[in-house]
């Protein structure tokens, strides 16, 4: 990372986060002055201690100077405690604010943006990178203030005691600064690589948790272990390199310090012999120089922490700066539902990761209050159509119209407010059955939830559970069967009470009897509502008012079941294959 980029990132961190805590930081600066002053006072007190107590044997000062030293150390300890406590609060608050922004970004980002990156990468940003930012703020900011002031106060004391020795001691500072600058650049690069590997590890573990049954049935435990071991080994090596960079300064600093102290003792002996330095001044100067060693060493490595934090900030800014294309615009009008007619006009759409269009020049009218079915082979474009209606994705060409209102020219929230979705990819949260159903309508009463479950044929199995509606479903419904999860999902759509219902293989996981019951419930649900349904089992859509037949992203025919059996070879072929 170049210095200009580093400066730009730090300016942004200050502008967007740090400046709101400037009062606390100024208070920490005041406490840092006390830390530096008390540290210097300890070294200065050795001057009168040696002269007055050991040489002149002053009995009064023999009591007062030790008491003053105790006061200096106590002041330093208390000031350092409160400074660290306050700056830790600032660091945690800022890290929390960054985490909130990342979470908001994940919640509001375009679906294609989320799908283009593994969830493990976002988790790495959320945990690893915000941790680096916390360290930069809570450790680096305080150390810069505390250690810089301590060095200034102690160097001032050294010049007060003997300016010749002070100039000799100052040789170490530029050498330390040059070392720190070189190591800092390497640290930034190594930290970025470590973050990427951490993201890979989280992704690998996430895949293992999601696919544990598949791994076992195909006996891929050893392969998956080898894959995770490889990533972990890579991370270990990178962390060892990071640790090596951090401690690389130690032997160089120790050697420089040894050379400096040896030269200092030799030169001090010369000055004492020449009468230019007294023994009490020597001890005070030596104490100041030794006390300055720790803050100088800290400052020599502080820019490594800053580079780490800046590199983490850069990765997070890349995530939160990603422009959101599909978002709610409060300046647009709300959707006004009348007959709930939906029309596609010359609609084209392709996914970002492909060159071929998923749907091409789609023109279709979905009559309000009726059931429209989409059929075709897998990959024909049916699910894409379902996803385009609530604007999960935005079309590249054409218009989608609801009651003569373009979906791009109305508030996004008002559009989705009038829709309920039951997908073939069932999503349940790690909460109770009641919470999962009421998720679509938080104001729903217990009776509303129970009625929805009766419609969805879910009440029978729920009542057999020990805690009934308060039973926990586990992560993504792991404690429920596939059919049970699907019925919970249908109940959630029922309780939404929306005029537009989107059903994507809504009965795919049900047995024959449950499917019959649920289909009857769905028939009651969709009465007088605009319903778009995808079903591979064509027997479930016989009664649809209109069926659209898709092939390779195009609509090749439409009509009711009887018409298509007489006039559409594709539909007839699909139907006959299922009968066979």
Chain centroid to Cα 179, Å, comes to 34
Q: How many residues does the chain have?
A: 580
What pLDDT is stored for residue 405 in this prediction? 92
Cα 123 to Cα 203, 204, 318, distances in angstroms: 9, 12, 14
Domain ranges of the chain: 3-320, 430-497
* Inter-residue contact 87 to 141 (CB < 8 Å): yes
Closest CA to 246 of 321, 313, 207, 194: 194
Q: State both tokens at 280.
A: 């009490």
Cα Rg of the chain (Å, integer) = 35
Q: Which DSSP helix (H) or strand (E) runs through 360?
A: strand 359-366
Q: Which residues contact 112 (CB under 8 A, 6 or more apart)?
A: 351, 352, 393
| Helix H or strand E segment including 398 | strand 397-402
* Nearest CA among 236, 572, 505 for reference residue 580: 572
Angle between helices 279-320 and 172-210 (to 10 degrees): 40
In angstroms, the CA 409 to CA 412 distance is 9
Q: Which of 563, 544, 527 is nearest to 366 (CA)?
A: 544
How far is it, in rounded angstroms, from Cα 563 to Cα 571?
A: 10
CA distances from 379 to 200, 310, 550, 566 (A): 30, 44, 9, 25
10-residue mean pLDDT series, the chain (580 residues): 82 90 93 92 84 76 86 92 92 90 85 79 82 88 89 88 80 62 60 69 69 62 77 77 68 73 81 81 82 77 80 88 86 89 92 86 90 86 89 90 91 89 80 87 87 84 87 80 81 87 74 69 76 78 85 89 86 76
Residue matched to tokens 């972990």: 232
Q: Could you please report the per-residue DSSP string of 470-518?
A: G-B--GGGTTS-HHHHHHHHHHHHHHH--SEEEEESTTTT--HHHHHHH
**Sequence-ordered list of residues with C-beta below 8 angstroms from that of 454, at least 6 positions apart, any chain:** none
CB 288 within 8 A of CB 161: yes
The predicted structure's pLDDT at residue 77: 92
Determine the Cα–Cα distance for residues 324 and 328; give it in Å rounded to an integer. Answer: 10
Alpha helices (H) in 321-331, listed in sequence order: none
- Give me the pLDDT at residue 227, please: 77
* Region at 33 (left for phi over 0; alpha for psi -120 to 50; beta for the rest): alpha
CATH of region 3-320 = 1.20.1560.10
Q: Rounded CA gap, 255 and 261, in Å? A: 10
In this prediction, residue 22 carries a pLDDT of 92
d(CA 115, CA 238): 28
- What is the Cα–Cα distance from 65 to 62, expressed in whole angstroms? 6
Question: To which H or E segment does residue 90 belong?
Answer: helix 59-108
128: number of Cβ within 10 Å: 20
């Amino acid at each position: 990372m170049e210095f200009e980029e580093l400066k730009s990132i730090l300016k942004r961190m200050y502008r967007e986060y740090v400046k709101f805590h400037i009062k606390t930081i100024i208070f920490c600066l005041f406490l840092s002055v006390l830390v530096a002053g008390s540290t210097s006072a300890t070294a200065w007190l050795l001057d009168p201690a040696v002269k007055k107590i050991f040489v002149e044997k002053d009995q009064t000062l023999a009591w007062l100077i030790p008491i003053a030293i105790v006061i200096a150390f106590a002041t330093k300890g208390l000031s350092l405690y409160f400074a660290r406590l306050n700056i830790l609060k600032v660091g945690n608050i800022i890290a929390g604010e960054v985490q909130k922004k990342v979470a908001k970004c994940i919640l509001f980002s375009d679906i294609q943006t989320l799908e283009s990156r593994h969830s493990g990468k976002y988790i790495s940003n959320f945990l690893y990178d915000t941790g680096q930012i916390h360290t930069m703020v809570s450790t680096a900011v305080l150390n810069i203030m505390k250690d810089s002031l301590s060095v200034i106060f102690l160097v001032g004391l050294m010049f007060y005691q003997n300016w010749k020795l002070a100039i000799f001691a100052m040789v170490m500072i530029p050498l330390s600064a040059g070392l720190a600058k070189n190591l800092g650049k390497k640290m930034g690069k190594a930290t970025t690589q470590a973050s990427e590997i951490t993201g890979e590890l989280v992704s690998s573990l996430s895949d293992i948790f999601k696919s544990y049954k598949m791994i076992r049935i195909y006996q891929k435990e050893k392969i998956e272990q080898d894959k995770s071991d490889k990533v972990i080994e890579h991370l270990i090596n990178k962390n060892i390199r990071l640790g090596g960079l951090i401690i690389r300064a130690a032997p160089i600093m120790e050697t420089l310090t040894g050379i400096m102290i040896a030269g200092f003792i030799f030169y001090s002996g010369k000055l004492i012999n020449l009468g230019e330095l007294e023994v009490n001044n020597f001890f005070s100067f030596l104490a100041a120089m030794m006390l300055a060693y720790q803050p100088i060493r800290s400052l020599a490595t502080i820019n490594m922490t800053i580079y780490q934090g800046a590199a983490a900030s850069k990765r997070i800014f890349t995530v939160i700066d990603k422009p959101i294309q599909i978002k709610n615009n409060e300046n647009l009008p709300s959707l006004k539902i009348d007959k709930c007619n939906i029309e596609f006009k010359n609609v084209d759409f392709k996914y970002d990761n492909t060159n071929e269009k998923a749907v091409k020049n789609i023109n279709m009218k979905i009559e309000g209050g009726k059931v429209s079915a989409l059929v075709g082979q897998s990959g024909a474009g049916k699910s894409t159509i379902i996803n385009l209606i609530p604007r999960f994705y935005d079309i590249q060409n054409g218009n989608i119209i609801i009651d003569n209102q373009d979906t791009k020219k109305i508030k996004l929230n008002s559009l989705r407010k009038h829709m309920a979705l039951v997908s073939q990819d069932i999503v349940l949260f790690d909460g109770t059955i009641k919470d999962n159903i009421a998720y679509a309508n938080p104001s729903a009463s217990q009776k509303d939830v129970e009625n929805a479950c009766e419609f969805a044929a879910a009440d029978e199995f729920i009542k057999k559970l020990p805690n009934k509606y308060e039973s926990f479903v586990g992560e993504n419904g792991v404690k429920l069967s596939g059919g049970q999860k699907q019925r919970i999902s249908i109940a959630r759509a029922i309780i939404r009470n929306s005029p537009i219902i989107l059903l994507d293989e809504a009965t795919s996981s049900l047995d024959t009897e449950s499917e019959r019951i649920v289909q009857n419930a769905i028939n009651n649900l969709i009465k007088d509502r605009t319903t778009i349904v995808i079903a591979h089992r064509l027997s479930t859509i016989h009664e649809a008012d209109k069926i659209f037949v898709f092939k390779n992203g195009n609509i090749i025919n439409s009509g009711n079941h009887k018409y298509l059996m007489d006039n559409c070879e594709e539909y007839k072929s699909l139907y006959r294959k299922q009968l066979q």
